[in-house]
Amino acid sequence: YEINEEVRFEIIRKPAHHNDQKGTLLFIRGSAFTGGPLDETLSYTHMLADYYGMDVVNLHFRVAPQYKFPTFFEDICATVQYLADNHTQYHLNRPFTLWGESSGGTMAASVCQHFENMGKKLIDKLVLIYPMMDLIRDYPSKDLYGQGYMLDLTFIEWLKDKTLNTQEEWSDYRISPALGTMSTMPPPFVVTAEFDPLRDEAETYVETLKNLGNTVHHKRAEGMIHAFFRYYDKLEQTQACLAWLKE
């Protein structure tokens, strides 16, 4: 389905044997803000639809370097607002769960924060899977696992160069949600990986939300590296995290 020539979404319907109404899962893939077509996540989003018994909306957005920040953020905001206004037209049910992985987690957190700041309660549940939350500050996990654990710091630096226009943008909450205003958020469910350079910034985000009085659910996957959800059909830890998110 197209909202306009550039922004569109795909609906993956839950299998017929799920006949109860559990709402809709809005999925933001991990693209590193620079790529990753919808086709790459087809089997994964079908798995989510079947496992959780929910319709899944796979969100498409323009990416860098052709479309730099904040284009992808604005595209996702526009799509979420459009779906909130027109969900009955597509036979999609509330509540809405916004699910983001890696850079998709960045955008899920910042988009949710954006609407909360505007007083719009569009998102009912927030799921962040090993999200990138802070492009400014140093964290111990970046020193410990920044090389040789799948996601390298050199790639993150490359990503900054390809995605952002100026160094000042690194601290913008739309790309570093840990630096934004988080006083009111729907209850987030955050999964981190033990050997992920992004682990500590995500766990700091969790503690900040708790200190502000928010209800937060957090699970650290011991022994796992970044992007371990890709291997949902092979890893027991991924299955355990999927089950935890189902509770």
Provide the pLDDT for residue 181: 84
The answer to whether the beta carbons of residues 73 and 111 sit under 8 Å apart is yes
Specify the pTM. Answer: 0.96
Provide the pLDDT for residue 40: 72
Instruction: Please give the average pLDDT of every successive group of 10 residues along the chain, which has 247 residues.
Output: 88 89 94 77 94 96 95 97 97 97 97 95 97 97 97 95 96 96 88 98 96 95 97 96 95
List alpha helices for the chain, DSSP H. 42-52, 71-86, 103-117, 140-145, 153-163, 199-211, 236-246
Q: How far apart are the first and last CA of the chain?
A: 31
